[in-house]
Amino acid sequence: MCGIAGFIDTQLSADAKRDLTHRMLCQITHRGPEASNVFIDGPVSLGHNRLKIIDLSDAANQPFEYEDVVIIFNGEIYNYIEVRAELEKHGYKFRTHGDTEVICATYKHYGDSCVKHFMGMWALAIWDKTKQRLFMSRDRFGIKPFYYFMQGQNLYFGSEYKTLKEVPSFDKTLNDEQVKRGLQMVWSSYKEETYYKQLRSLEAAHNMVWHNGRITISRYWDIDFTKPTSTLNRNEQNEMFYELFKQSVRLHARSDVPNGTCLSGGLDSSAISGMYSSLMPDTPLKSFTIFYEDDVDERPYVREVVKKYPNIDPYYFSPSNQLIEESFHKIAYHADVPVLGSAFISQYYLMQLAKSQGVTVVIDGQGSDEYLGGYLHGFYRLLGGLASKGQIAKAYSILNNLAEREHFSSKKKRDFIIKSIAGAIGNENKMYNLEYGQLNKYLNGTVQPLHIDDHTDDKFNNFLYHALMTTTLQTLLHFEDRNSMAFSLESRVPFLDHRLVEFAFTLKREDRVTDKAETKYVLREALKPILPTAVYERKDKKGFVTPGEVKWLNGPLKFLLDIDYSRFDFMKQQELKQLITNYKAGDTSKAAFVWRIGATDYWLKHFA
């Protein structure tokens, strides 16, 4: 895992290029503290900070030259051994034992379509010296970040906002619409947009090429909704899911440094720890858990996993109020954007705990909720989709099962019915714009409409697609990257193996969310053999819950409520002030929104 920074600038001298690249790299030393180098060739400068994970020799340092191409690369190609073996059949020779050189040879052999052969996570740039052409790519799900901006014919890019701010021509004009999306939608980005008007994010599953002063961007992978629905029976589906997940965990375990797992006691993290331990029962595995004894404490479930797998060595940590207060500035600095929820603070301490125990790679459970229907708000689309097809009785039956399991109040159930009706009437774009439009009551104007395309006429699948590629997951991966890299850790997410995701989208709705309102059904049933009974039988969906939006905001982080309202000149000042006044007086009904206001104000003050 590493940090990259580079640019193409036809005006700067070689010395000026080297100086600027070093300054850009200095901002992201935390991403790769073990080696730092710069390559310059004509208009191009490529910089790399290395965190050694596979092939720990200096021969594998970057920028890495292979024949007439040079690469800087952040991520891991987990199937590099298999890809290398295929390339060797075509006569390619290798002098290192890692994945970086394999990427170069694959590019030489397949050109821009090389990325279709990779299973992994990446943000990379390859300078083709012969063609004077820069090829850039980001992995299928956007696990690793890639930011850029153009200035005339010049291109500048890097792993984080911080590194691009070192470029003299960087424009800090805020993208007000993204500020609003962060406040209301809890998104750290939207498609290619960031918190700055000038700065762009290369979207997941996209390639970008700079040639002769122009860039072209193209998509190289997507979910194919024309594939036929799986004809496998339930047992066969379970076997297929189990096998694909096993392959993914096996590949994600490849490392020349110590691995660990983030273990919350939930379904996903327990499945990862269980599969890892099943595959390598004699290999010690450290697990890491954050808890809050009087609020959210998942240790009983974690202990069930540890009891089942004695190779796991568990570590637990509960952050104190003093630590939370003292750490917030550093957490906010590393986040690059406003800290949009308190859960991301818990994740920061989780990564800190892993680092303190000598681990360099952590394996985490992000991704499955997005394509297997793990979120409650997915039921609006599921129920709405059934209702729109005339299956009202079935929709109501599923709602009753859900309400019973989740202990809905009568008001909560009514709200669910109303939102499900909206889901029946409108498409995904309308649903998200209705949600975004709720911010208008606090604005001087109105929000600009979102554009969420329909990729399929199935409402539930369309929701899952965008949760994966457009909305929820992109923010979770943003903070996953920043929190892990803050401690020079590589975080891996085996549920985001594209083969697993593609298979899941061939399944029927009821194979993922049953008529009894059981979510992630195929995962639960397929991985039952490796899950402790207590975890398998869990039906609650907690996520990374913390006491933050109430206890922290009224305690160690109460300084976030000292808001400079002038920074929110796009909002109605009286309504905003009243919101904060009500919160301070004890009305916590909008606590999450108040948190985002305070966190955004802090970011605008210190980092924007």
**What number is the average pLDDT over the span 147-163?**
97
- Residue 296's φ and ψ, nearest 5 degrees, are -130, 110
Phi, psi of 206 (to 5 degrees): -125, 145
Coil, strand, or helix at residue 2? strand
| pLDDT given at position 382 | 96
Rg of the chain taking only CA atoms, in angstroms:
24
User: Whole-angstrom Cα distance, residue 413 to residue 460?
Assistant: 19
Beta strand residue intervals within 400-462, DSSP E: none
590: exposed, middle or buried (C-beta count within 10 Å: 0-12, 13-18, 19+)?
Answer: middle
Residues 549, 481, 250: CA angle, nearest 5 degrees: 120
Q: Is 64 helix (H, G, I), strand (E, B) or coil?
A: strand
Give the Cα separation of 338 and 323 in Å (integer). 19
What's the pLDDT at 468? Answer: 98
Question: What angle, rounded to 10 degrees, do the helices at 410-425 and 378-388 form?
Answer: 60
The neighbouring-strand residues paired with 76 are 121
Alpha-carbon distance of 131 to 261, in angstroms, equals: 43
Handedness of CA 489, 493, 498, 499 (dihedral sign): positive
The Cα–Cα gap between 124 and 48 comes to 11
> Which two tokens mark 371?
């394509």
C-alpha 2/C-alpha 30 separation (Å) is: 9
pLDDT band at residue 545 under the 50/70/90 scheme: low
pLDDT band at 543 (very low <50, low <70, confident <90, very high): low
User: Higher pLDDT residue, 302 or 546?
Assistant: 302
Residues paired with 361 in a beta bridge: 259, 490
Average the pLDDT over 62-76 and give the result: 98
In tens, the pLDDT along 433-471 reads 999 999 999 999 999 999 999 999 999 999 999 999 999
Helix 299-308 with 267-279: angle, nearest 10 deg:
20
Residue 1 has pLDDT above 70, yes or no: no
| Residue 544, pLDDT above cutoff 70 | no
Hunting for tokens 């818990």 — which residue is that?
A: 346
Q: Is the dihedral of CA 440, 444, 445, 449 positive or negative?
A: negative
582-597 pLDDT, tens per residue?
999 999 999 999 999 9
Residues 6+ away with beta carbon under 8 Å from 30: 3, 334, 485, 486, 487, 488
- Enter the tokens of residue 440: 């208008």
Distances (CA, A) of 381 to 216, 430, 434, 456: 35, 12, 14, 13
Nearest C-alpha neighbor of 242 from the set 52, 504, 556: 504
C-alpha 314/C-alpha 297 separation (Å) is 15
Which pLDDT score is estimated for 548? 87
Look at residue 557 and give its three-state secondary structure. coil
DSSP 345-414: HHHHHHHHHHHHTT-SEEE--TTHHHHHT-STTHHHHHHHHHHHTT-HHHHHHHHHHHHHHHT--HHHHH
- Is 287 strand, coil or helix? strand
Question: Per residue in 218-254, pLDDT tens?
Answer: 999 999 999 999 999 999 999 999 999 999 999 999 9
pLDDT confidence band for 189 (50 / 70 / 90): very high
pLDDT in tens, 298-355: 999 999 999 999 999 999 999 999 999 999 999 999 999 999 999 999 999 999 999 9
Q: What is the pLDDT of residue 287?
A: 98
User: Please, what sign has the CA dihedral across residues 134, 140, 143, 145?
Assistant: positive
Q: What is the mean pLDDT of residues 490-497?
A: 98
pLDDT of residue 43 exceeding 70, the answer is: yes
> Residue 103 is which amino acid?
I
Burial 185-220 (b: 16+ CB within 10 A, else e): bbbbbbeebbbbbbbbbbbbbbbbbbeeeebeeeee
Peptide bond into 529 cis (omega under 30): no
For residue 229, count CB atoms less than 10 angstroms from its CB and return exposed for 0-12, middle for 13-18, buried for 19 or more: exposed
Can you give the pLDDT at residue 337?
98
Are 462 and 454 in contact by the 8 Å Cβ rule? The answer is yes
Give me the domains of the chain, ranges plus CATH numbers. Answer: 2-219 (3.60.20.10), 377-463 (no CATH), 548-606 (no CATH)
**For 336, left (φ over 0), alpha (ψ -120 to 50), or beta?**
left
pLDDT tens digits, residue range 110-144?
Answer: 999 999 999 999 999 999 999 999 999 999 999 99
pLDDT at 540 over 80: no
Per-residue model confidence (pLDDT) at position 539: 75
Rounded CA separation 53/442 (Å): 48
Work out the mean pLDDT of the chain and round it to a whole number: 96
User: For the chain, how many residues are written?
Assistant: 608
Flag whether pLDDT at 513 surpasses 90. Answer: yes
pLDDT at 533 over 70: yes
Question: Is residue 542 very low, low, confident or very high in pLDDT (cuts 50, 70, 90)?
Answer: low
Which whole-number Å values give the CA distances from 184 to 178, 424, 439, 481, 597, in the listed order? 10, 23, 6, 22, 10
